[in-house]
Structure 1
Amino acid sequence: MDVLEYARLLRKHWVIVIVATIFGAVAGLGLSFVQTPSYRASTEVFISTQAADTSSELVQGNAFTLSRVNTYARLASSEEVLDRVVEQLNLNVPSRDLIEQIQAVPVADTAILEISATSDQPQVAADLANATAANLADSVAELESDGTSSPIRLATIVSASVPVEPESPRPMLQAVLGGLLMLVAALAFVVARDLLDTRIRTDRDVKAVTSAPLLASVHFDPKATSRPLVVHAEPLSPQSEMFRTLRTNLNFVEVDGTSRIFVITSSIPGEGKTTTAANLALAIAGSGQSVLLVDADLRKPKLAEYMGLEGAVGLTDVLIGKATLNDAVQDWGSSGLFVLPAGPVPPNPSELLGSRAMHSMLEELRSEFDWVLLDAPPLLPVTDAVVLAQQGADVLVVAAADRVNAPQLKRSLEMLETADVSLGGLIMTMARLDSSEAYRYAEYGYGGPHTSPAHAEEKKKQPAAKAAKAEKVPPRPPVKKVDARPRSAKRGAARR
């Protein structure tokens, strides 16, 4: 992961990080209030030898003193010294319990020994430090004595004073440390979660799975459920612009100029393959080319509902010979878009889609339309999309951000590779629109019809309730189901 990825994670999960940091700071602060205060008092002891007569003796005495400092530091917390401290202060605790309260540390490159004592009472801490220093001097004098006097002398140069503030707890310090610890923990959690999460989230995730071209990345549309045909409902929206980009990029997938037949599918349900197929068809029809949108999802057909068409007669009837294409294909508007609904749900969808009747129908449609888009079921649950692709069509795989994961997408693409079908590319749906992209779209006017001056002026003239209703339910163009001309004549007119 690079710096930009970490920045993206922090921006996405900043609430978790901030809450965790505040919780850690509050927990550290709260812990300081329940802890027993601990006071520390310190005294300093100077270690010296008897007076020397010559400079050589002075140097030797100084070296001897420095070599003994560490020894006397260990001796300060010995039972011999602490027994005398307990007796002097009349303490009701055994001397071994004081070992953890007494600490003697030599001051670097000096003959000074710093003796510290801790206690939950400030006066006791000072008394312990002073008593330890005094009794250490007595013990050293006895141990170093040659029978008459000791060559080593310990003198207290700084007596321990009663501490005013406790050494611990320190509320502010513990609050800062608690906040920092939880901050690090939250960041580690966010990074680990992202590394372990295999869901497809960005274009980079798609490119990490396959080298196939990513033809378009359609941004998430919060109103997709209420109006799936965004190219018709809001032609100036960022989503509509991306479908037009997809239309343009498809021209490079099939550059021979012949009729283009594409199977549009996904790895799992709920990735937006049907709305992608419908909006792509609208974008193509808007460029003046004829396009037939076929609902080849014979298990859960939804295209007729989305397009506002009668779906009683459709693809199933054509394949079993109960109806002709002229009877089943319906016009949608006047822009050259035609729709073939699924018709009745059959008991054998895969067999119908792989039949000779399906192959013959596709060959006929190839000569009738500039584009043929087949909305197929997802790849992983059933094999219908693969069967359709083997009829001579290219496959477009829809990958929804935060819906499909990398292993699922990889298995889907492996299925297509095993079946030796042509993969035209991938389409990412429900992608995130970051702030910089949103600004660019707004700057160039891709903000939906509500951003146009004419629409704003019209809304000023409407009552608020009526304007809100108009926003929620965009009108559909009239659907032509009956025409005196033959179907082929109408298609030719659409091409022209």
Structure 2
Amino acid sequence: MDQTFQIRDFLQIFKKRIKFIITVPLLFALLAVIVNSFIIKPVYEARSDLLVNNTVPMTEETLTALDIETNLRLIETYHFIIQSDRIIDLVVEELDEPFTNNELQKKLRVETNDNSQIISLYVKENDLDTAVEIANLFATKSKEEISQLMNLENVNILTEAKVEKHKTPISPKLFFNTVISFIIGFLFACTYAFLSAYFNTKISSKEDIEKYLGLSFLGEVGIISKNRKNRLNSNKKEDLHSILTSRKGPMSTPVLEAYRSIRTNLQFQLMDKSLKTILVTSTSKNEGKTITCSNLAMMMAIDNKKTVVIDADLRKEKMGMSNGQIGLTHYLAGNRSVQDILLDTFTPNLQSITCGPIPPNPAELLSSERMDQLLQELKEHFDRIIIDSPPLFFSDAAILATKVDGCLLVVQSDTTKVTHIQQGLGQLTNVNATILGAIINKKKERKNDINYYHYGTR
């Protein structure tokens, strides 16, 4: 499968997922605001400054390099004293809050600038008042203890910490974190959108049909109505003849237009070929091949083509079919004639053949000469013969593919994986079947999509 992406592909993905790509970063930013404003506790930093004076009064003429070096060494010594356990223990004793020595040591940061006589004390704390109190206590206790230890009165408090100066927390940084969260959300959304598109192996568009399957795109039909959807989700498959005879009145306009478009596209495939028998199949069950069969057959009948539709899915019991109903299996068993199994419908030019009782050996019956005889006889009386077959994972579909003029593949949108479809198509190509094209079924409605059609209301 060719997964080469071009710039055009990325632009299409971006356009298709634009709401997701915009919404995710906004949610990330909103989450950042909530977390930073209401969950993370703010951290305040209070600062007090100490000024270290010269040990003796000096003038510019008497100041020597040795004196400067001595003062700088004193500042380094004071730096160590301020962070010592001696000072920290004194501060702990003065505080009302129960801090340990280690806790307080982690909250304190002491800085000195090169060639400066100022020592700055920084204290980080979640409570601003406590941070200010601790910073001022460190300044006071440091001044007192240095004087006692060094026998020098050369340290003074230059600046006291005040609540008014430190009202803005240093952490968290709301604006910065919000911007970073938005950027991360945007990158995440783009990465997710592009990777999900790259690794998405499900068919959802005409481009997917042509690019990954190499088939002609015949059309697409939307999601079915709720009532019919409930019936199709039943454990029993709906009987094809019941679908044809339960319809009251004409199809709704969207359905009519969808299948008219499919019929028109199919006519181009049939134009230069004497194709009468068409097999409709799918990769797996519940993809909508039976409803596609019935509607396609009706459209051909409306186009004045004498049409018969055959339910050749002999694998599953059908809803709406009585046990005594005569069908395909009766003919294949040699018990009935073609005229016996043909049933009329409400649509002019359209007849149907039900599957009949479910046999124990469907593959053997479908591969028999009686099946060949049936198709040959029907060709003499009908312009179009539409056959509903089991899914491709049964051998029945490949058997029938050898007996018909062409095959149609029904693909459920955003559900059927490309690899599974390719495996099924491999079974058809192995028997040299002619594949006319693919129809996307149960297509989800998108705004501004003029090609969208659906079965009634959703």
Q: TM-score, normalised by structure 1?
A: 0.67
C-alpha distance in 2, partners of 1:416/1:426? 13
C-alpha distance in 1, partners of 2:185/2:209? 31
Aligned partner of 1:217 in structure 2 is 220
**Aligned-pair distance for 1:371?**
1.6
Supply the AA of the counterpart residue of 2:224.
Answer: D
**Aligned-pair distance for 1:124?**
3.5
2:262 is matched with which residue: 226, 246, 253?
Answer: 246
**Higher relative contact order (Cα pairs below 8 Å, separated by 6+ residues):** 2
C-alpha distance in 2, partners of 1:235/1:100? 78
Supply the AA of the counterpart residue of 1:53.
Answer: E
Supply the AA of the counterpart residue of 1:296.
Answer: A
2:310 maps to 1:294? yes
Q: Quickly say closer, same or farther: Cα 1:374–1:423, change in 2 above 3 A.
A: same
Q: Quick check: 358-367 or 114-123, which moved more?
A: 114-123
- Aligned to 1:264, the other structure's residue is in SS state strand
- Aligned to 1:96, the other structure's residue is in SS state helix
Q: Quickly say closer, same or farther: Cα 1:124–1:332, change in 2 above 3 A.
A: closer
Aligned partner of 2:416 in structure 1 is 404
Aligned partner of 1:237 in structure 2 is 253
Cα RMSD between the aligned structures? 5.1
C-alpha distance in 1, partners of 2:448/2:106? 60
C-alpha distance in 2, partners of 1:22/1:234? 52
1:41 is matched with which residue: 40, 46, 52?
Answer: 46
Q: Quickly say closer, same or farther: Cα 1:88–1:31, change in 2 above 3 A.
A: closer
Q: Quickly say closer, same or farther: Cα 1:275–1:448, change in 2 above 3 A.
A: closer
2:107 maps to 1:101? yes
- Aligned to 1:435, the other structure's residue is in SS state coil
Q: Quickly say closer, same or farther: Cα 1:334–1:395, change in 2 above 3 A.
A: closer
2:8 maps to 1:5? no
Q: TM-score, normalised by structure 2?
A: 0.72
Counterpart contact for 2:36–2:172, Cα < 8 Å: no
2:364 is matched with which residue: 347, 351, 375?
Answer: 351
The one-character-per-residue Cα deviations of 1:457-489 (angstroms, maximum 9, x if unpaired) are: xxxxxxxxxxxxxx99xxxxxxxxxxxxxxxxx
Counterpart contact for 2:45–2:170, Cα < 8 Å: no
- Aligned to 1:361, the other structure's residue is in SS state helix
Counterpart contact for 1:247–1:284, Cα < 8 Å: yes
Supply the AA of the counterpart residue of 1:331.
Answer: D
The one-character-per-residue Cα deviations of 1:371-409 (angstroms, maximum 9, x if unpaired) are: 2110001112x2111100011432211111244333332
**Runs of at least 5 residues in structure 2 that lack an aligned partner in the other structure:** 1-8, 232-242
2:272 maps to 1:259? no
Pairing of 1:435-450 with structure 2 (within 5 A): 435-437=447-449
The one-character-per-residue Cα deviations of 1:187-222 (angstroms, maximum 9, x if unpaired) are: 599757777765444445545541222221111122
C-alpha distance in 2, partners of 1:430/1:349? 29
Counterpart contact for 1:301–1:342, Cα < 8 Å: no
2:331 is matched with which residue: 318, 321, 328?
Answer: 318
**Aligned-pair distance for 1:270?**
0.8
2:288 is matched with which residue: 272, 283, 287?
Answer: 272
2:402 is matched with which residue: 377, 390, 399?
Answer: 390
The one-character-per-residue Cα deviations of 1:167-205 (angstroms, maximum 9, x if unpaired) are: 499798899699969967995997577777654444455
C-alpha distance in 1, partners of 2:455/2:156? 87
Q: Quickly say closer, same or farther: Cα 1:431–1:422, change in 2 above 3 A.
A: same
Supply the AA of the counterpart residue of 2:381.
Answer: E
Counterpart contact for 2:28–2:185, Cα < 8 Å: yes
Q: Quick check: 193-202 or 250-259, which moved more?
A: 193-202
Supply the AA of the counterpart residue of 1:2.
Answer: F
The one-character-per-residue Cα deviations of 1:109-159 (angstroms, maximum 9, x if unpaired) are: 98866432134554442232123345667888999x9xx989xx7765432
Count of aligned positions: 431
1:53 is matched with which residue: 60, 65, 69?
Answer: 60
Q: Quickly say closer, same or farther: Cα 1:169–1:264, change in 2 above 3 A.
A: same
2:39 is matched with which residue: 23, 27, 31?
Answer: 31
Counterpart contact for 2:92–2:99, Cα < 8 Å: yes
**Aligned-pair distance for 1:284?**
1.4
Q: Quick check: 318-327 or 228-237, which moved more?
A: 228-237
**Aligned-pair distance for 1:25?**
6.5
- Aligned to 1:269, the other structure's residue is in SS state coil
C-alpha distance in 2, partners of 1:360/1:73? 106
Pairing of 1:52-91 with structure 2 (within 5 A): 53=60, 77-79=83-85, 81-83=87-89, 85-86=91-92
Counterpart contact for 2:223–2:455, Cα < 8 Å: no
2:349 maps to 1:336? yes
Supply the AA of the counterpart residue of 2:163.
Answer: V
**Runs of at least 5 residues in structure 1 that lack an aligned partner in the other structure:** 450-470, 473-496
Q: Quickly say closer, same or farther: Cα 1:448–1:394, change in 2 above 3 A.
A: closer
Counterpart contact for 1:231–1:239, Cα < 8 Å: no
**Aligned-pair distance for 1:31?**
3.2
Q: Quickly say closer, same or farther: Cα 1:225–1:259, change in 2 above 3 A.
A: same
Pairing of 1:141-220 with structure 2 (within 5 A): 156-162=157-163, 167=169, 187=189, 191=193, 198-207=201-210, 209-220=212-223
C-alpha distance in 2, partners of 1:223/1:90? 70
- Aligned to 1:2, the other structure's residue is in SS state helix
